Structure 1
Amino acid sequence: MDFLKSAIGSAIAKGGGLPFSLGDRVDVGDSVWALHNGTKRDDGSACSIFAFEINANKSRLPLAKNAVRKSRTLRHPGVIKVLDTIETEHNLYIVTERVVPLSWPVKRRSLSEETAKWGLYTVASTLKFINDDASSVHGAVRASSVFTSESGEWKLGGFDILSSMKEDDAIIYTYGSSVPDAARYTPPEVVKGGWDTIKRNPLAAVDAYGLGILIFEVFNGGFSGGDQAGKTTNIPPSMQQSYKRLCTANPKLRLSPGHFVEQGKKHGGFFQTPLIRMTEDIESLGLKSDAEREEFINELDNLSGDFPEDFFKMKVLPELLKSVEFGGGGPKVLAATLKIGAKLSADEFNIKLTPAIVRLFGNPDRALRVCLLDNLPSMIDNLPQKIVNDRIFPQMTSGFTDVAPVVREQTVKAVLTIINKLNDRIVNGELLKFLARTANDEQPGIRTNTTICLGRIAKNLGQSTRSKVLIAAFTRSIRDPFVHARNAGLLALAATSDVFTEEDCAVRILPAICPALLDKEKLIRDQANKTLDLYIQRVRKHASTMPATMIPATAPTEANKPEARVGTPNDNSWAGWAISSFTNKIATANGEIEPTTSNGKAADAEIARPASVPRPAKPTPSTQHELLSQTLRPPSQPLNRSMSDRPAPVTHDNGPEEEGDDVFDAWGAMDDDFENDVDGFTAALASSKTTSPVPSSTKAPVVPYDGGGEPDFAGWLAAKSQTKAKNPLSKASTKTVSTNSGATRSTASTAKPRTVVVPKKIDTKPKNEEVDDDWGDAWD
């Protein structure tokens, strides 16, 4: 059996069967133990290993075995937590939680006063437990016996001579002086009378003296010898009196660790600090009343930044999360939780906080939701994008439609924080739909914030939806009755001018800005002018890069065609170009009259006419030239012509009033010109008054016109299209004019009443281009 035990111990000593892996060695100073960082093999968690090599320290083997035995049995929050102890033939191992020697920060003097008091309170409380409850004596209290855990808490170790005073053969009596550097820390009574004097003095006297030396070390960075014990250098004033009583030479007058704690906990005592109070209250936070919880949170807010962050991460944070989720901690506790969480690394945040945050976003408590949204900027960097898209944003969307305006407003503001973690599908889909609702919210502040939000996230929107959404939202905001909403719309347009095309700027945005130039509020007018100038400059800059014209170059066949005259910049009249063009048209039309034949006679073109119309009298050679010079048009003029191309009315000796009738009829026909189409043209032409004035100098016979006949317009149009000839006397006048001077002319009032005859529909219609030619010929 002994052989099997020895074989197993040898295998373990070689490291093959150890439940941990040894890491780097940690400097622990003068000690019988070698401290290593380690890792547990089963779960990979960090740990510390105190290793003792038996063959190298056989004289101190009883101290190591005593430490192993006491570590297994002693349990207290202020004592190093032991995970396992392993004894082999060659080594002894104590596996504990990961710890760091307190001597490191002590030598660097990096401990703040509040942290030092908090740690000393923990050590003093632990010694009180050892002395009073366990009836034991530690015997080696010093900085090298104290360690700090991952949570920053001070843990008491160094149990090499820890002994129960109920044992007659306690190891402290025999091996008390075997502890490394014992002479420097031994109490004066022990130096004189040996360790057996413990039996004749108060049980806590030795540990009280060690606590006093530890206080001096913490505040002064070390301890050189017994002559420094009791000196108050750098000791906080409130603690000096009690500290002196710990270090007094008479052991019967020394203040025990328990009494030292009691004096420090008195009202106004040196242990009445926010950190110590929080440490005591944190574990019972879920059981506190609302008033007590609020007091605790206020105490937590008063803590400065020099307190141990590790303690908040490891101890305070888990308790706060429990209180928020299950103890009704409310938004104040949540705010304190997120404040501590901001100091975590990304990995620590995902492990400790992310699951709780996801659950809290689903909590129906509006106060918690608002608190989460307010603190979202401090934690968004630590939230993975997948978590934000899949789990957080879907629960946030209920805030856009919440009945409480404060929730809707905070949700809109939170979009700016979360936008960079959302994918394109959510941004250009669900998010824009919800923002469209808040843009029409009944609360003007929410509408304003939505406009600001859209302006800030413009870069994140897709190109296919950006212009359409932003222009619609901003131009709508400019018309908002709330003055700050209008101002936000103008500011957003100014800030996002580079995301719109020049065409959008000129066609859609500038017209929307212009009404704001006359806004009733000066704030809006000023901002509208600034935004308008910004867009006008951009449009002008773009216009300067555009080509002068997009009209294609003139074809070679059209190079010799005369160009239409247009007005020049020197024309002071606004209608100068129109008059010039009109004059050019007349000049061109006059050049299209049929030339005379070689014998001086005009080419006769027989014009088709209806039987009811008598053949007009053939002009004599003496009057032919005069007739051609006047070039009267046919009475049936197309309605779509300007009155300026019609011949001036013939002046008669006795009828100035007759001229007025013709002018009125012409203006009426021109008015109808803009209202009738091509089909109405024939009917209007048939019902209009026709007048064939005859120059008085020709004395041509008047041909009576049968008003009841049916004019043959189709024949006339056909003849016009075939011969292109112009006959100024195509029809007789409906009025008879007396050629005798002084004779009375016949008027429409004495003539037979005319009846309007609706022309018959003729199947034969001239081609479109022929009608166009007729309209162009009429400008002669």
Structure 2
Amino acid sequence: MDFLKSAVASAIAKGSSFPYSLGDRVDLSDSIWTLHNATKREDGSPCSVFTFDIASNKSRLPLAKNAVRKCRTLRHPGVIKVLDTIETDANIYIVTERVVPLSWHVKRRSLSEETSKWGLHTVASTLKFINGDASSVHGVVRASSVFTSESGEWKLGGFDVLSSMNDENAVIYTYGSLVPDAARYTPPEIVKSGWDTIKRNPLTAIDSYGLGILVYEVFNGSFSSGDQVGKTTNIPPSMHQSYKRLCTANPKLRLSPAHFVEQGKKSGGFFETPLIRLTDDIESLGLKNDAEREEFVNELDELSDDFPEEFFKMKVLPELLKSVEFGGGGPKVLGAILKIGSKLSQEEFNSRLTPVVVRLFGNPDRALRVCLLDNLPVMIDNLPQKIVNDKIFPQITSGFTDAAPVVREQTVKAVLPIINKLSDRVINGDLLKFLARTANDEQPGIRTNTTICLGRIAKNLGQSSRSKVLIAAFTRSLRDPFVHARNAGLLALGATLEFFTEEDCATKVLPAICPSLLDKERMVRDQANKTLDLYLQRIRKFGDTMADTVISPSVSADPTKDTARIGTSNDKSWAGWAISSFTNKLTAANGDIQSSANGAKPVEPEQEPARPASVPRPTRSASSVQKDTLRPAAQSLNRSLSEQPPTLFKEEDDTEDVYDAWGAMDDDEEDNQHKEEDPFSAAVTASPTISAPTPKPAPVPYDDGGEPDFAGWLAAQSKTKKPLPKGLNKSSPTSVPRASSRNSTVKPKTVVAPKKIDTKPKEEEEEDGWGDAWD
């Protein structure tokens, strides 16, 4: 059923000959007309329709017909623009531009003083035209006869009794009293002598009186009776004198609208305001020279926010766009355009400004480019993402390599407002390449701003390359000779802490920050300490969550004995650790082998008879002599575990075993580090069962058991510069030492003592085969 109703309604609407669709009714008092908002069916453009119902208001039909006739013939910028007039048997329609009654604003007291003066100037100028050029009388000047257009301009309407004074049968003479609420607004001479009095008084007298009442209404919100005429309540002091002359009771002394405008336009007059001057100059902006255009823009900057926005959108903005794009308006005009554009809706901005902005970014004028970059934050929200990414950013990139430093700097700053409108491919590709160039710019300010820019856009960078790019850029800035660049690098590192892993913080960032702790500038040092604290807090917090060790601790067979030892791992103090380390090393150095837990005796090396320290061990082969001579004594302590006696390797419960003692201390990470770095302890751990060959006091760890120090002695003898024996001379690899007469085995090249040595037991020496070596 609903569908059927809508279909029928649609058919009726399509079949109707009326080309406009009426909308909401607008409240309009003191008028014979009914006002509706409407749209044109052809293109949907907005308009207003004044409707007069003939049947219900037949006595005032001459007024409606007079209004239609005057609307068709009267043309002026201060008059409502009429689009169409339609007369039927039932109604009369006047279709105009979209308007709103001024009485709405007057009753709400929403008009500022500057706007009120601007509107009164427009109405007075229109009356000047009607009275002077058209030789006519409006007759109904009041707030209900004035409307505001979409551009915010005041438009004069209410032409019900508009009459030419050249017409002897003018409507105003006959039907003037039929105007709604005429008694309240009628001048005193009309009340006294009738409408024919107009012929005996100045033509402007009746409209001047109405203009005075309009001034009172605008500044006070309402007009109730003739007693209020001439009162200056709430009226600006600069207008008092002229206002009183408009409302004087003697029609011959009244100030005409033309003279009212003239007095207001004098130097220091009440019509000398920036808004009124702007209105007068906007139409001829394209014809002004550079000095006049600059003066115009300066006045435009003086305008406050309480001026009518609609006027700037509809009237000022189009003229400014023409000037900046085709008339050489320059950056100042562009700044005014963007200031007005900030008050446009999204749809209005896209339709009016976006195409112009895209074209202006391609303009080679550097001053214009800098102005656009400066104002990007103001207009970026209204620019579609696709337009920014595909059309505007490619034109912006030329600024990164521009020869002028100011252009490069402003281009870097412009990255911040547009970053959210760029795709990931553009950000991680072209943008980072250009920022890498500006990070190495010759201008220190540009380098500093690049560092700040990277810190601000860090969240927009791709995760795969973000930490690598940021660390490289920020650590580089820490070495910059410009103090503010170094400080910016530290600030950026502190702001982007969340984007780095703990490993990057510890291995890459902290080492780069540390040199800044001793920077020559206190500002940098202070910031370095703050940034360092941030990273240390994070690393320490992460370290607390890590395991104590990744090495499995060795479990002692008898934990009670470990507890009884001095300085074991149970002693967590720093001194206890030191005592434990010292005790373990001393025990290993002594080489004492304690009895095993099961009572088995350790295997002891074969005892050798006592002999002087300078006498070699008897009956040794040449190869063994070579090993003992060339190898330091410490080498005997570094045998692998596979070379240890099997019985000693299995004694795991020995409480004095050094390996087990270090293993029991594995719970302390710091102890483990020291144990791993102590070569002496490592050697002891590798060979825990070495004992002294005799019951004498234990030799030092690297003692060779009493054998002569051949290598050391040889080095001492070389200082005498005596030639070495033939057998000890360093020859080429092909030379072979002499063989002993008693031993046919060829002796390998070995380091032996020179001739001059104490060889008292010579017989034993010859028996060992060493005698031939001294020949």
Aligned mates of 1:707, 1:437 — CA distance in 2: 80
Contact 2:591 2:692 in 1 (8 A): no
Residue 479 of structure 1 is matched in structure 2 by 479
Q: 1:732 to 1:76 in 2, by over 3 A?
A: closer
Q: What whole-Å deviation, never above 9, does each CA across 1:325-367 have from its counterpart, x for those lacking one?
A: 1111111111111111111222222122111111111111111
Q: What whole-Å deviation, never above 9, does each CA across 1:535-586 have from its counterpart, x for those lacking one?
A: 1121111111111222358899xxxxx9xx9998757599959956975999
Contact 1:48 1:99 in 2 (8 A): yes
Aligned mates of 1:640, 1:494 — CA distance in 2: 56
Aligned mates of 1:181, 1:16 — CA distance in 2: 36
Q: 1:522 to 1:687 in 2, by over 3 A?
A: farther
Residue 358 of structure 1 is matched in structure 2 by 358
Aligned mates of 1:250, 1:306 — CA distance in 2: 38
Residue 415 of structure 1 is matched in structure 2 by 415
Q: What whole-Å deviation, never above 9, does each CA across 1:17-43 have from its counterpart, x for those lacking one?
A: 221110111111021100001111122
Is 1:450 matched up with 2:487?
A: no
Is 1:299 matched up with 2:299?
A: yes
Query: How far is the alpha carbon of 1:502 from its aligned partner?
Result: 0.1
Q: What amino acid sits opposite 1:661 in the alignment?
A: F
Aligned mates of 1:477, 1:436 — CA distance in 2: 12
Is 1:144 matched up with 2:144?
A: yes
Aligned mates of 1:61, 1:630 — CA distance in 2: 152
Residue 332 of structure 1 is matched in structure 2 by 332
Is 1:33 matched up with 2:40?
A: no
Aligned mates of 1:645, 1:273 — CA distance in 2: 107
Secondary structure of 1:464's aligned partner: coil
Aligned mates of 2:259, 2:482 — CA distance in 1: 69
Q: 1:216 to 1:583 in 2, by over 3 A?
A: same
Contact 1:704 1:732 in 2 (8 A): no
Q: What amino acid sits opposite 2:305 in the alignment?
A: G
Q: 1:737 to 1:141 in 2, by over 3 A?
A: closer
TM-score calculated relative to the size of structure 1: 0.77
Residue 91 of structure 1 is matched in structure 2 by 91
Secondary structure of 2:476's aligned partner: helix
After superposition, residues 732-747 of structure 1 pair within 5 angstroms as none
- The more displaced of 473-482 and 510-519 is 510-519
Query: How far is the alpha carbon of 1:484 from its aligned partner?
Result: 0.9
Extract unaligned runs of 5+ from structure 1: 1-10, 557-561, 597-601, 603-618, 621-625, 651-656, 669-682, 691-701, 714-730, 756-780
Contact 2:710 2:753 in 1 (8 A): no
Q: What amino acid sits opposite 1:637 in the alignment?
A: K
Residue 287 of structure 1 is matched in structure 2 by 287
Q: What whole-Å deviation, never above 9, does each CA across 1:459-515 have from its counterpart, x for those lacking one?
A: 111111110000000000001111111111111111111110000001111111111
Aligned mates of 1:662, 1:225 — CA distance in 2: 132
After superposition, residues 215-230 of structure 1 pair within 5 angstroms as 215-230=215-230
Aligned mates of 2:28, 2:736 — CA distance in 1: 124
Contact 1:12 1:88 in 2 (8 A): no
Q: What amino acid sits opposite 2:212 in the alignment?
A: G
Secondary structure of 2:303's aligned partner: coil
Contact 1:707 1:754 in 2 (8 A): no
Query: How far is the alpha carbon of 1:739 from its aligned partner?
Result: 7.7
Q: What amino acid sits opposite 2:454 in the alignment?
A: L
Q: What whole-Å deviation, never above 9, does each CA across 1:76-98 have from its counterpart, x for those lacking one?
A: 10001111111112111111111
Query: How far is the alpha carbon of 1:222 from its aligned partner?
Result: 1.5
Q: 1:737 to 1:465 in 2, by over 3 A?
A: closer
Q: What amino acid sits opposite 1:634 in the alignment?
A: S
Residue 710 of structure 2 is matched in structure 1 by 661
Residue 510 of structure 1 is matched in structure 2 by 510
Secondary structure of 1:334's aligned partner: helix
Q: What amino acid sits opposite 1:423 in the alignment?
A: S
Aligned mates of 1:641, 1:660 — CA distance in 2: 10
Aligned mates of 1:42, 1:300 — CA distance in 2: 38
Is 1:635 matched up with 2:625?
A: yes
What percentage of residue pairs aligned between the two structures are identical? 70
Is 1:645 matched up with 2:636?
A: yes
Q: What whole-Å deviation, never above 9, does each CA across 1:302-324 have from its counterpart, x for those lacking one?
A: 12222111111111111111111
Residue 309 of structure 2 is matched in structure 1 by 309
Q: What whole-Å deviation, never above 9, does each CA across 1:113-143 have from its counterpart, x for those lacking one?
A: 1111110000000011111111111111111
Query: How far is the alpha carbon of 1:102 from its aligned partner?
Result: 0.6
Contact 1:497 1:535 in 2 (8 A): yes
Q: 1:353 to 1:580 in 2, by over 3 A?
A: farther
Query: How far is the alpha carbon of 1:373 from its aligned partner?
Result: 1.3
Secondary structure of 2:292's aligned partner: helix
Aligned mates of 1:287, 1:430 — CA distance in 2: 43
Contact 1:567 1:578 in 2 (8 A): no
Residue 264 of structure 1 is matched in structure 2 by 264
Residue 18 of structure 2 is matched in structure 1 by 18
Aligned mates of 1:667, 1:459 — CA distance in 2: 70
Q: CA RMSD in A?
A: 4.4
Aligned mates of 1:102, 1:709 — CA distance in 2: 129
Residue 199 of structure 2 is matched in structure 1 by 199
Secondary structure of 1:238's aligned partner: helix
Q: 1:318 to 1:707 in 2, by over 3 A?
A: farther
Aligned mates of 1:742, 1:456 — CA distance in 2: 89
Is 1:709 matched up with 2:746?
A: yes
Residue 109 of structure 2 is matched in structure 1 by 109
Query: How far is the alpha carbon of 1:637 from its aligned partner?
Result: 2.6
Query: How far is the alpha carbon of 1:193 from its aligned partner?
Result: 2.2
Contact 1:566 1:580 in 2 (8 A): no
Contact 1:686 1:711 in 2 (8 A): no
Query: How far is the alpha carbon of 1:209 from its aligned partner?
Result: 1.3
Q: 1:577 to 1:474 in 2, by over 3 A?
A: farther
Aligned mates of 1:448, 1:743 — CA distance in 2: 87
Aligned mates of 2:12, 2:62 — CA distance in 1: 21
Residue 277 of structure 1 is matched in structure 2 by 277
Aligned mates of 2:155, 2:535 — CA distance in 1: 69
Query: How far is the alpha carbon of 1:458 from its aligned partner?
Result: 1.0
Aligned mates of 2:16, 2:587 — CA distance in 1: 110
Contact 1:705 1:732 in 2 (8 A): no
Q: What amino acid sits opposite 1:324 in the alignment?
A: V
Aligned mates of 2:236, 2:111 — CA distance in 1: 13
Query: How far is the alpha carbon of 1:376 from its aligned partner?
Result: 1.3
Is 1:51 matched up with 2:30?
A: no
Q: What amino acid sits opposite 2:335 in the alignment?
A: A
Secondary structure of 2:410's aligned partner: helix
Q: What amino acid sits opposite 1:709 in the alignment?
A: V
